[in-house]
């Protein structure tokens, strides 16, 4: 059976800086040309499974952002795992496998029209690799995605019930389950980690498999946000006895529940946490950091096409004189699924879950107090 690690990426070239620069500068022109090429086909609606054309347009936009990130960070392991996911997810939403060949050929045509011939060789090679490996990617995409995280026996039944309440859209039963289950801050932390986080991952995979709609996925996220808020309000009497921490999702990142879980877990441990939510503009974040002077900044990113943004954010924050010594912790689904990727961000550490985040920050705090 062909596995992801059997897709040979060893000969994929590094894209020169000048070529990356031109690709970024002409990205909008290229994307619009790709859309025009696809729209000109009489069979385009059939190819995309009679989905809305807006879904295809969004995919084209994401493709451009993602490839720009791949060229910049030169990480082809992430490249091949992400394309496998795209094939699996969009095929299960009704897109045909032929669509991906058609789209990549459209990218090749648009790139040849807009990128200088002296600069485009490596970019063309990477897109042609996708075409050459099309059948292999299809085969791998049919295999299960994420390895299922083992849920402690203590929480297994609670997890099963919570997942069913989310799928049913029953926030009252979900809230009742929490009240019957959670008595302490430790219970709350474990509930966040083992129940909420895993239930949302499971629902994401159900969407990926074409078994639930985006609307149902959003409903589950909304209910979980309300549940987390309700639990948090029951433990507000915990005084802040340690340093200040700012936690946020980066600009253009709209997934915030994972960051919220880490923020609340840290606050339960006595940290003074400022949670900013999702899509925080970098300039405003730096202004707030200057004002608040936190001990740690936690940055969350889930989507692979936002990697450049987190790398840029870390670089700018570390270059800010008033923030010298600020520790930066990164986390998010993209790092959990691609070991070692976080090191390319320039951050000081990575936490795969709230328990690790607490341990890392506590270690930094103890080391700082020994100085």
DSSP labels for 218-244?
A: HHHHHHHHHHHHHHHHTTTT----S-E
Q: How many residues does the chain have?
A: 371
CA distance 4 to 137: 8
Query: What is the location of CATH 3.40.50.280 in the chain?
Result: 244-370
CA distance 321 to 18: 30
Q: What is the pLDDT of residue 370?
A: 56
CA distance 76 to 261: 30
Q: What is the pLDDT of residue 88?
A: 95
Query: What is the location of CATH 1.10.1240.10 in the chain?
Result: 153-233
Q: What is the pLDDT of residue 2?
A: 46
SS3 (DSSP) at 146: coil
Q: Which DSSP helix (H) or strand (E) runs through 275?
A: strand 272-275
**Alpha-helical segments (H) within 93-152:** 97-114, 121-132, 134-141
Q: What is the pLDDT of residue 5?
A: 55
Domain 153-233 = CATH 1.10.1240.10: yes
Q: What is the pLDDT of residue 148?
A: 60
Burial 128-139 (b: 16+ CB within 10 A, else e): ebbeebbebbbe
Q: What is the pLDDT of residue 237?
A: 77
Q: How far apart are the first and last CA of the chain?
A: 54
SS3 (DSSP) at 315: helix
CA distance 318 to 282: 13
Low pLDDT (below 70) residues in the chain: 1-5, 145-148, 370-371
Distance of CA 74 to CAs 10, 13, 148, Å? 12, 9, 28
How many Cβ atoms sit within 10 Å of the Cβ of residue 369?
9
Burial 141-167 (b: 16+ CB within 10 A, else e): beeebeeeeebeeebeebbebbbebbb
How many Cβ atoms sit within 10 Å of the Cβ of residue 282?
15
pLDDT tens sequence across 301-357: 999 999 999 999 999 999 999 999 999 999 999 999 999 999 999 999 999 999 999
The CATH code of domain 244-370 reads 3.40.50.280
Q: Which DSSP helix (H) or strand (E) runs through 187?
A: helix 185-190
CA distance 242 to 327: 15
Tell me if 77 sits within 8 A of 85, measured CB to CB. no
Q: What is the pLDDT of residue 147?
A: 56
Query: How is the beta sheet containing 296-300 ordered, strand by strand?
Result: 272-275, 244-249, 296-300, 327-331, 349-350
Distance of CA 217 to CAs 82, 128, 168, 203, 335, Å? 20, 34, 11, 6, 22
Q: Which DSSP helix (H) or strand (E) runs through 283?
A: helix 282-292
> Encoding tokens for residue 337?
């699924």
Q: Which of the four CATH numbers 3.30.70, 2.60.40, 1.10.10, 1.10.490 does domain 4-141 have?
A: 1.10.490
**11 class by beta-carbon count within 10 Å (0-12 exposed, 13-18 middle, 19+ buried):** exposed
Query: What is the location of CATH 1.10.490 in the chain?
Result: 4-141
Q: What is the pLDDT of residue 235?
A: 87
CA distance 356 to 353: 6
């Amino acid at each position: 059976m062909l596995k992801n690690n059997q897709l040979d990426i060893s000969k994929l070239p590094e894209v020169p800086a000048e070529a990356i620069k031109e690709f970024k500068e002409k990205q909008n022109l290229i994307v619009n040309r790709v859309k025009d090429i696809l729209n000109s086909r009489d069979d385009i609606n059939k190819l995309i499974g009679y989905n809305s054309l807006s879904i295809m347009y969004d995919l084209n936009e994401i493709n451009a952002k993602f490839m720009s990130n791949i060229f910049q960070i030169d990480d082809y392991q992430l490249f091949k795992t992400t394309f496998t996911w795209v094939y699996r997810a969009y095929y299960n939403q009704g897109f045909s496998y032929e669509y991906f060949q058609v789209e990549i050929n459209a990218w090749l045509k648009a790139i040849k029209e807009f990128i200088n011939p002296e600069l485009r060789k490596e970019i063309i090679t990477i897109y042609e690799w996708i075409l050459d490996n099309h059948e292999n990617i299809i085969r791998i995409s049919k295999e299960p995605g994420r390895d299922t995280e083992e849920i402690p026996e203590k929480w297994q039944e609670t997890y099963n019930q919570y997942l069913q309440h989310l799928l049913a859209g029953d926030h009252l039963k979900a809230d009742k389950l929490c009240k019957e289950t959670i008595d302490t801050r430790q219970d709350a932390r474990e509930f966040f980690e083992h129940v909420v986080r895993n239930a949302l991952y499971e629902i994401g995979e159900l969407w990926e498999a074409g078994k639930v709609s985006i609307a149902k996925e959003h409903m589950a996220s909304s209910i979980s946000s309300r549940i987390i808020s309700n639990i948090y309000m029951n433990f507000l009497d915990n005084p802040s006895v340690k340093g200040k921490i700012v936690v946020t999702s980066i600009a253009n990142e709209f997934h915030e529940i994972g960051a919220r879980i880490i923020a609340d877990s840290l606050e339960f441990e006595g940290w003074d946490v400022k949670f900013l939510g999702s899509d925080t503009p970098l300039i405003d974040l730096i202004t707030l950091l200057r004002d608040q002077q936190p001990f740690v900044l936690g940055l969350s990113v889930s989507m692979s096409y936002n990697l450049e943004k987190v790398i840029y954010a870390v670089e700018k924050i570390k270059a800010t004189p008033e923030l010298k010594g600020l520790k930066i912790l990164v986390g998010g689904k993209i790092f959990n699924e691609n070991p070692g990727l976080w090191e390319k961000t320039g951050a000081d550490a990575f936490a795969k879950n709230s328990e690790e985040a607490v341990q890392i920050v506590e270690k930094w705090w103890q080391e700082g107090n020994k100085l």
